[in-house]
Amino acid sequence: MISLQKNAVNFVKFALQCKALCFGSFETKSGRNSPYFFNIGCFDSGYSINKLSRFYTNALVNSGIAFDMIFGPAYKGIPLVISTSINYSLMLGKDIPFSFNRKEMKTHGEGGLLIGSPLKGRVVIIDDVITSGISAMESISIIKKTGAEPVAMLIALDRMECSVDRCISSRKSAVQEVAETYGIPVISIASLNDIFSNVMNDINLSKYRERISEYREVYGIL
Ligand SMILES: O=P(O)(O)OC[C@H]1O[C@H](OP(=O)(O)OP(=O)(O)O)[C@H](O)[C@@H]1O
Ligand SMILES: O=C(O)c1cc(=O)[nH]c(=O)[nH]1
């Protein structure tokens, strides 16, 4: 089994290669001006989504969490659960059911909000990032309504920054808040620390060091 650290390092390298990890000036969902951005939509080919899902699978296996199926919140969670379940079955020889939701209820044909294997047992939610925790809350609510049990959340990148309005009072990251609020572990393939190490060690990225350090000072949770 590949170590979590190696998985994180290789993931950051691959994200840079696919330009899914960019440096510059980006507005986040919370309205902050971030010196870096992670865009999972850049893993946009068979090769890259397959490789991405190997990082997810490694992180999931490494976590040791016992689960029965995976759930991907629309839209970006959809290719993530499909590719991860394929990779999981190839790497571990175990068939993992998956499910995902629609953003709007379908009122004709088979109808409904959920697609895929019926939600049951212990469910791991797979997504790209957590910003305010709204998507996590919605996924947990969907899963609980069916009687299934959300047991963990797996994301690609933990930005390790405080959530929008509770920043000053709680000094907890959005990821920590989700974990504490719902009592489930939140696992990430990599974190801002891994990105920061890369920026510190790569001479080509040296021009971004100061801005990232400043951003961390203001919003970061160490
Ligand atoms: O913690 P949050 O504040 O909910 O932010 C994180 C969520 O936001 C994005 O999805 P979005 O809801 O924008 O939908 P998309 O997958 O269709 O882009 C992202 O894929 C996460 O699911
Ligand atoms: O906070 C966000 O909106 C956000 C940050 C990030 O790095 N990637 C992303 O998809 N959203």
The CATH class given to the 4-219 domain equals alpha beta
Q: Which ipTM score applies to this complex?
A: 0.94
Ligand 1 pocket check for 39: Cβ under 6 Å: no
Q: Of 176, 84, 177, 86, which Cα lies nearest the Cα of 124?
A: 84
* Residue 139 three-state SS: helix
Cα-to-centroid distance, 148 and ligand 2 (Å):
28
The tokens of 215 are what? 């951003």
Ligand 2 pocket check for 29: Cβ under 6 Å: yes
Q: Closest Cα to atom 4, ligand 2: which residue?
A: 28
Name beta bridge partners: 5.
Answer: none
pLDDT of residue 216: 92
Per-residue pLDDT of the chain (222 residues; tens, 9 = 90+): 789 999 999 999 999 999 999 999 999 988 899 999 999 999 999 999 999 999 999 999 999 999 999 999 999 999 999 999 999 999 999 999 999 999 999 999 988 999 999 999 999 999 999 988 999 999 999 999 999 999 999 999 999 998 765 555 567 899 999 999 999 999 999 999 999 999 999 999 999 999 999 999 999 987
Residue 165 annotated as binding? no
Among 129, 155, 163, residue to substitute to test ligand 2 (most atoms within 8 Å of Cβ): 129
The tokens of 108 are what? 């004709």
Omega of the bond leading into 75 within 30 degrees of 0 (cis)? yes
Ligand 2 pocket check for 145: Cβ under 6 Å: no
What CA–CA distance (Å, rounded) separates 154 from 174? 14
The tokens of 38 are what? 């992670």
Q: For the chain, which residues make up each domain, given as ranges? A: 4-219
Sign, CA torsion 74/76/80/82: positive
pLDDT of residue 44: 98
Cα-to-centroid distance, 220 and ligand 2 (Å):
15
pLDDT of residue 170: 61
The CB density around residue 167, as the number of other CB atoms within 10 Å, is 17
* Residues carrying an active site annotation: 106, 108
pLDDT of residue 208: 94
Q: What is the β-pairing status of strands 186-191 and 112-116? A: unpaired
Sign, CA torsion 134/137/139/141: negative
